[in-house]
Amino acid sequence: MTADILRKKFLDFFKAKKHKVVESDSLVPKDDPTVLFTPAGMNQFKREFLGFTSGFNRAATSQRCLRTDDLDKVGKTPSHHTFFEMLGNFSFGDYFKKESIAWAWEFLTKELKIDKERLWVSVYKDDEEAYGIWKDEVGLPDRKIVKLGDKENFWPSEAKTKGPNGPCGPCSEIFFDQGKDVGCKREECDPSCNCPRFTEVWNLVFTQYNRKEDGTLTPLPKKNIDTGMGLERLAAVMQGKENNFETELFAPLIREIIFEVKNDNPDNRPLVYAIADHIRAIVFSIYDGVLPSNEARGYVVRKLIRRSVLYLRSMKTEKPYLYKLVPVVAEIMRAYYPELKARQENIAEIVLAEEKNFIATMNSSESLFRERFQGFIKKQDPEEVGIATFQLYDTYGIPLELTLAWLDKNNISFSRQTFNNELSRQKERSKSQSAMKGDVFSSPDMQYRGIICKFSGYECFSSKAKIIKIIKDNKEVKKLSKGEDAIIILDKTVFYPEGGGQVGDTGELTKGKNAFAVLDTKKSGKAILHTGKMKSGSLKKGDLILASVNYERRMDIARNHTATHLLQAALRQVLGKHVQQQGSLVTAEKLRFDFTHFKDISDEQTERIEETVNDFILNNHKVEVKQKALALAKKAGALAFFGEKYDSKVRVVSVGGVSSELCGGTHLKASGEIGIFKIIQEGSIASGVRRIEAVCGNAAYKVIKAQEQCLRSICMSLNVPQDRLCEEIDKRITRMKHLEKQLDTQTLNALSDSLEELIQGAEVLREIKLITKVIDSLDMNLLRKNIDLIKSKTKSSIIALGSVVGGRAMLVMGLTPDLVVKGLDAGAMIKDIAQIIGGSGGGRADFAQAGGSKPENFNQAFEKLRDIIWKI
Ligand code: ALA
Instruction: Give residues with Cβ within 8 angstroms of 628, minimum separation 6.
Output: 636, 638, 649, 650, 652
Residue 401 has pLDDT above 80, yes or no: no
Distance (angstroms) between ligand 1 centre and the Cα of 402 equals: 39
Distance (angstroms) between ligand 1 centre and the Cα of 293 equals: 29
Q: pLDDT tens-digit profile of 108-142?
A: 999 999 999 999 999 999 999 999 999 999 999 99
Distance CA 732, CA 488 (A): 64
pLDDT bracket for residue 444 (50, 70, 90): low
Q: Which atom of ligand 1 is nearest to the CA of 205?
A: 5
Q: Which atom of ligand 1 is nearest to the CA of 204?
A: 5
**What mean pLDDT comes out for the span 367-388?**
86
Distance (angstroms) between ligand 1 centre and the Cα of 228 equals: 5
pLDDT at 433: 56
**What mean pLDDT comes out for the span 581-606?**
93
Residue 85 has pLDDT above 90, yes or no: yes
To 10 degrees, the CA torsion angle through 285, 287, 291, 297? -30
Distance (angstroms) between ligand 1 centre and the Cα of 530 equals: 36
**What mean pLDDT comes out for the span 568-592?**
93
109: DSSP letter: I
pLDDT at 7: 97
Testing ligand 1's pocket by substitution, the residue of 79, 100, 226 carrying the most ligand atoms inside 8 A of its CB is 226
Q: Which atom of ligand 1 is nearest to the CA of 41?
A: 1
Distance (angstroms) between ligand 1 centre and the Cα of 227 equals: 6
Residue 361 has pLDDT above 90, yes or no: no
Residue located nearest, by CA, to atom 3 of ligand 1: 228
Testing ligand 1's pocket by substitution, the residue of 92, 122, 205 carrying the most ligand atoms inside 8 A of its CB is 205
Q: Pick the more confident residue, 409 or 189.
A: 189
Distance (angstroms) between ligand 1 centre and the Cα of 40 equals: 6
Which residue type, as a one-letter code, is found at position 646? Y
pLDDT at 642: 66
Distance (angstroms) between ligand 1 centre and the Cα of 226 equals: 7
Testing ligand 1's pocket by substitution, the residue of 148, 175, 203, 233 carrying the most ligand atoms inside 8 A of its CB is 203
Q: pLDDT tens-digit profile of 144-177?
A: 999 999 999 999 888 888 878 778 899 999 999 9
**What mean pLDDT comes out for the span 445-464?**
87
Q: Are 121 and 174 spatial neighbours (Cβ–Cβ below 8 Å)?
A: yes
On average, the pLDDT of the chain sits at: 91
Distance (angstroms) between ligand 1 centre and the Cα of 171 equals: 9
Distance (angstroms) between ligand 1 centre and the Cα of 124 equals: 15
To 10 degrees, the CA torsion angle through 643, 649, 651, 654? 90
Distance (angstroms) between ligand 1 centre and the Cα of 203 equals: 6
Distance CA 791, CA 817 (A): 8
**What mean pLDDT comes out for the span 17-28?**
94
Distance CA 320, CA 305 (A): 11
**What mean pLDDT comes out for the span 389-401?**
79
- With residue 686 as reference, give the H or E element that holds it: strand 677-686
pLDDT bracket for residue 753 (50, 70, 90): confident
Cα torsion 237, 240, 242, 246: sign: negative
Distance (angstroms) between ligand 1 centre and the Cα of 484 equals: 45
pLDDT at 222: 84
pLDDT at 437: 43
Instruction: Please report the domains of the chain, with CATH numbers, ordered by start residue.
Output: 3-246 (3.30.930.10), 250-363 (no CATH), 364-440 (no CATH), 446-549 (2.40.30.130), 555-705 (3.30.980.10), 757-871 (3.10.310.40)
Q: Which atom of ligand 1 is nearest to the CA of 227?
A: 5
- Distances in Å between the Cα of 536 and the Cα atoms of 481, 484, 736 are 8, 10, 65
Residue 646 has pLDDT above 90, yes or no: no
Distance (angstroms) between ligand 1 centre and the Cα of 467 equals: 40
Q: Which atom of ligand 1 is nearest to the CA of 88?
A: 5
Which of helix, strand or coil describes residue 221?
strand
Q: pLDDT tens-digit profile of 589-601?
A: 999 999 988 889 9
pLDDT at 524: 86
pLDDT at 35: 83
pLDDT at 440: 47
Q: Counting every residue, how long is the chain?
A: 872
Nearest CA-CA partner of 78 in 241, 279, 301: 241
pLDDT at 236: 96
Q: Is the pTM of this model over 0.85?
A: no
Testing ligand 1's pocket by substitution, the residue of 171, 200, 434 carrying the most ligand atoms inside 8 A of its CB is 171
pLDDT bracket for residue 16 (50, 70, 90): very high
Residue located nearest, by CA, to atom 2 of ligand 1: 228
pLDDT bracket for residue 301 (50, 70, 90): very high
Distance (angstroms) between ligand 1 centre and the Cα of 39 equals: 9
**What mean pLDDT comes out for the span 631-645?**
80
Number of H helices, E strands in the chain: 25, 33
Residue located nearest, by CA, to atom 4 of ligand 1: 40
**What mean pLDDT comes out for the span 57-62?**
96
pLDDT at 431: 63
pLDDT at 436: 44
243-277 per-residue burial string, b: 16 or more CB within 10 A, e: under 16: ebbbbebbeebbebbbebbeeeeeebbbbbbbbbb
428: burial class by Cβ within 10 Å (0-12, 13-18, 19+)?
exposed
Distance (angstroms) between ligand 1 centre and the Cα of 176 equals: 18
Nearest CA-CA partner of 775 in 784, 767, 766: 784
- With residue 682 as reference, give the H or E element that holds it: strand 677-686
pLDDT bracket for residue 443 (50, 70, 90): low
Q: Pick the more confident residue, 34 or 319.
A: 319
pLDDT at 752: 78
Distance CA 619, CA 622 (A): 9
Q: Which atom of ligand 1 is nearest to the CA of 42?
A: 1
Distance (angstroms) between ligand 1 centre and the Cα of 26 equals: 17
Testing ligand 1's pocket by substitution, the residue of 69, 151, 155, 440 carrying the most ligand atoms inside 8 A of its CB is 155
Residue 757 has pLDDT above 70, yes or no: yes
Considering only 413-417, 440-444, 721-725, which range has the smallest mean pLDDT?
A: 440-444
Distance CA 136, CA 157 (A): 27
Q: Pick the more confident residue, 52 or 222.
A: 222
Distance CA 571, CA 581 (A): 10
Q: Which atom of ligand 1 is nearest to the CA of 39?
A: 4
For 139-188, the DSSP string reads ---GGGEEEE-HHHHEESTTHHHH---EEEEEEEEEEEE--TTSTT--TT
β-strand pairing of 492-493 with 454-455: parallel
Testing ligand 1's pocket by substitution, the residue of 227, 233, 434 carrying the most ligand atoms inside 8 A of its CB is 227
Residues with CB under 6 A from ligand 1: 40, 42, 155, 203, 205, 226-228
pLDDT bracket for residue 103 (50, 70, 90): very high
Distance (angstroms) between ligand 1 centre and the Cα of 643 equals: 24
Q: Pick the more confident residue, 634 or 151.
A: 151
Residue 611 has pLDDT above 80, yes or no: yes
Instruction: Give residues with Cβ within 8 angstroms of 238, minimum separation 6.
Output: 1, 6, 112, 114
pLDDT at 289: 85
Distance (angstroms) between ligand 1 centre and the Cα of 338 equals: 27
Q: Pick the more confident residue, 434 or 417.
A: 417
Instruction: Give residues with Cβ within 8 angstroms of 741, minimum separation 6.
Output: none
End-to-end Cα, the chain, rounded Å: 78
Distance (angstroms) between ligand 1 centre and the Cα of 710 equals: 63
Q: pLDDT tens-digit profile of 789-822?
A: 899 999 999 999 999 988 899 999 999 999 999 9
**What mean pLDDT comes out for the span 775-782?**
83
pLDDT at 430: 66
Distance (angstroms) between ligand 1 centre and the Cα of 279 equals: 24
